[in-house]
Chain A
């Protein structure tokens, strides 16, 4: 499949900080690449280079087959960008915002107006379209910002932490929109700090840390890298622990871990649900009463920890890599 986004050996330094330290990416058409990493890892800098906002020190990049450095204006007509700071004019109404963006994408005033109404309807903003964006809730602004990125139905989209700061309901709704876009053939590069988001939306994940891609693959592939699945059993009384360990022994692919006070036994297994069923039958046959049992696969959190030696930071730090708004501290993110 053809690549919709290609980057080769991108380097960008801010003073002593190497925000991008040789990043190469390729995203096949109609797929989603999740760029996963903590604050200051270089995710936003990568997006800014690919969307023509920032010149790299070296390396090359192409979007939809067009060279980002040689033909930036052509690239701009093929992409939609939506970021973590909803970039809408709060003193314009929702309708005026979208219409302005349409006209600046070089649509005629009439087409831009029509397109704005369509998008407002799809994003459930019709009722609010003649109110200034200042009166919108955070979720509504984010939707308006995403709608602005969709004005020309761009074949390639860049979403920079699209759900940061959104409540779970709005996040889920945004995910559904994103999934629909991809089903319809949009290629998407998504940056996120949320492992759950990358897991759900991305076909492929690139883990970024200190300006480098440190791992690349599908979510399952990355999880498999750090080992297999485990069964966790919580028995009802602590005196049942030794017998339960004995019952699990035939299925275990390694030593069991026992947490005495929580009565939790964890054993590595292979074979998935089939093994889980067998274990349940075995425990039942021995009349070992259990409170809880489950098959546990490693999460992307585990992956990240094992790849980088440090956990991702949850929530939102103030400093994001390469954002112009934070010039004074640019490139001095805690992990950059």
Chain B
């Protein structure tokens, strides 16, 4: 270790102060770059993130697909996989919650959030940088998952453009949910707790929906909840856009206007949870 620093150690260094939105974008990009680099250094995270949805595709379609009846078709694996994929895609993107919550909780415990908070940088950038990096990871996961699904018989039936629209809705939902993860990560402060807290409520959320079975098969009192579930709207919208809807969409308002409802929910969740998270970040630890 150098025992003496050169005289040049002290004195101003060139800085170019940035303000407002420019600072926000610049700082978010720097933090996103950092999180993407981490991803390449810990590829296990991406790999394990892929294994769960792939396993779900295989288990649901081959094990249960033959037994689940979709309105307008007899129970059949080839039919069910068409129905299933929108649900699996949507469930997969919402798992971005776990990545964001665990990542931010880890930064809190390792003192990195303190480091960032002591720097003259945008107060939102640590969180937007995180959620943007998660969005990239989600996109990669969705692409790989689509390829696997194509291999086991899933098809797009209504044109490439509409399918792109569906992927857009999925990424929007994933982005919204990563902000929920950000708030969880800032609140629990242990990466292990953050992982559980990030995942546990996703199971009821994604199962009390049209993701895996038609809502019409659920008890009457549960149906309104399932139909208005933000998750169901995206699933229904994607199912239609992929051309995977068998028979007419359920005659319920949110299902009939699924694209609008899906976008609405995603924007609402993003706005509310980014506001709550940034507020929490400013006050972190006090």
Chain A residues with CB under 8 Å of chain B are 12, 48, 51-55, 73-74, 76-77, 79, 81, 83, 85-92, 96, 100-101, 103-108, 111, 115, 121-124, 132, 143, 148, 150-153, 155, 170, 173, 176-177, 180-181, 184-186, 322-325, 327, 330
Contacts and interface: CB of A to CB of B under 8 A. Distances in A.
Contact of A54 (B7, B16, B26, B286): B286
Contacts of A184: 5, 7, 9-10
Contact of A122 (B6, B31, B108): B6
B111 A111 contact: no
B18 interface: yes
B157 interface: no
B27 A122 contact: no
B18 A181 contact: no
17 contacts: A53-B285, A53-B286, A54-B285, A73-B120, A85-B110, A89-B38, A89-B112, A104-B116, A106-B16, A106-B18, A111-B15, A124-B2, A176-B4, A177-B1, A185-B10, A324-B189, A325-B111
A185 B7 CA distance: 11
A85 B111 contact: yes
Interface in B121-157: 121, 125
Nearest to B111: A87
B236 to A, nearest CB: 39
B30 A106 contact: no
A85 B106 CA distance: 13
Given A89-B38, A101-B115, A184-B10, A124 B15 contact: no
Contact of A107 (B15, B31, B285): B15
B286 A92 contact: no
B117 A77 contact: no
A323 B15 CA distance: 30
Given A87-B112, A100-B30, A176 B13 contact: no
Interface of B: 1-7, 9-18, 23, 26-27, 30-31, 33-34, 37-38, 41-42, 108-121, 125, 189, 283-286
Contact of B16 (A96, A108, A132): A108
A330 B189 CA distance: 13
A105 B16 contact: no
A88 B23 CA distance: 22
Nearest to A174: B1
Nearest to A325: B109
A124 B5 CA distance: 11
A111 B13 contact: yes
A53 B112 CA distance: 12
Nearest to A83: B111
Contacts of B33: 100
A83 B31 CA distance: 21
A91 B111 contact: no
Contacts of B113: 324
Most buried by A among B6, B13, B110, B117: B13
B116 to A, nearest CB: 7
B105 to A, nearest CB: 10
A151 B118 CA distance: 13
Contacts of A53: 114, 117-118, 285-286
A132 B114 contact: no
Given A86-B111, A89-B112, A186 B10 contact: yes
